[in-house]
Structure 1
């Protein structure tokens, strides 16, 4: 299972580098709540977030991409999230991804509306 996860992430990063992107944005998974509903620190892990994030960062840097870590707080529970879902017809996860990408673009100060 671990190999499949890391391989899928590696393939996605290869694709991003191949299409000519300069930046890759990741949710800063270290900011996500750590323990929930239990006292056992390993009981609530659905995936190895530290390993996944570290692998993504290293693969991106090897491909020459700039890595931007974005705080994911407030992407699902915000008013803007609902507006984006309605406006673009996205589900909640895609709308959250869209908000993370917008935060990353504003963090690196790229003009979003610049014509190509």
Structure 2
């Protein structure tokens, strides 16, 4: 099974929806990573603000950052080799690398909400 690692720049969250403006590219990547995780793909994201040890421990990330600075982030590895520097992979690239259809990468997270009605009845509602 292939392994993907993404080293993100420092940010407050990986979804792109927590700042004053929404970054659609970060939202796409977060959704794609979620979909791949649901399929059992070995994919991990490391945020410089939250996971600095991952950056320190990876010699290749250190070298790229020393050569190019923080603008080199994000850095994406496929099976331990650098696949992309400075931009996130497209869904087409994820699809080709991991041999999944592009449609499978747009799965929306489903949230289970339990709703209790009068007389003790309970229903599960799924939302996206």
TM-score where L is the length of structure 1: 0.32
Bigger-Rg structure (1/2): 2
Greater share of residues in strand: 2
Greater share of residues in helix: 1
